[in-house]
């Protein structure tokens, strides 16, 4: 028996074929498989976050749609539940109202929306705060126009509520 001492172990040279040998291609493939497994694990975490983010965005847009419906219908009870108590609502003219002032404007029909159709809306979520921007086609019966808006919603007591609204006339399109 011929033996060779390698790193403290004796190796029987006659039975060397029993030991598994790896060529460079096998090592590369195993490395690729390990890397893909690691990437798969980490990518799934990101995917789960994207799904959660999509759900939150849908909730925010649903809240916006409910608020718009309440504005058009002048449904003050529904509308007051969708507005934060510290609301700042700035109209295209620069006129700014609080929650109570805005509710009175809708109730008295000082502003009466026939239609209020958002488009090109972008939603960004930061924890319990959502920032929306886009355009709205507004019809007040006597006039119609397009505005650009910036809207802030906060999730308060489990409900997305309008906290701030700023709009300007869209004269560039």
Query: Where do the domains of the chain lie?
Result: 40-169
Q: Tens digit of pLDDT for each residue in 68-109?
A: 999 999 999 999 999 999 999 999 999 999 999 999 999 999
Q: Tens digit of pLDDT for each residue in 15-32?
A: 555 555 556 666 666 776
Question: In Å, what is the CA distance from 44 to each residue of 58, 107, 138, 140?
Answer: 21, 49, 42, 47
Candidates 65, 76, 140, 73; CA nearest to 102 is: 76
Candidates 103, 101, 40; CA nearest to 71 is: 103
The answer to whether residues 137 and 121 touch, using CB atoms and an 8 Å cutoff, is: no
Reported CATH class of domain 40-169:
alpha beta
CA distance 84 to 160: 9
Mean pLDDT, the chain, whole residue set = 85
The answer to whether residues 141 and 112 touch, using CB atoms and an 8 Å cutoff, is: yes
């Amino acid at each position: 028996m011929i033996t060779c001492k390698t790193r403290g172990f004796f190796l029987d040279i006659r039975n060397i074929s029993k030991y598994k040998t790896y060529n460079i291609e096998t090592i590369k493939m195993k490395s690729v498989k390990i890397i893909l497994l690691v990437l798969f694990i980490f990518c799934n975490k990101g995917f789960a976050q994207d799904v959660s983010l999509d759900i939150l965005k849908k909730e925010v847009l649903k809240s916006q749609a409910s608020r718009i419906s309440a504005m058009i219908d002048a449904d003050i009870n529904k509308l007051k539940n969708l507005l934060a108590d510290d609301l700042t609502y700035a109209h295209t003219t620069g006129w700014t109202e609080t929650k109570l002032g805005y509710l009175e404007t809708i109730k008295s029909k000082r502003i009466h929306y026939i239609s209020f159709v958002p488009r090109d809306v972008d939603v960004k979520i930061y924890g319990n705060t959502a920032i929306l921007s886009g355009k709205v086609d507004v019809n007040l019966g006597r006039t119609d126009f397009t505005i650009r808006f910036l809207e802030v919603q906060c999730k308060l007591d489990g409900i997305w509520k309008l906290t701030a609204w700023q709009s300007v006339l869209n004269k560039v399109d």
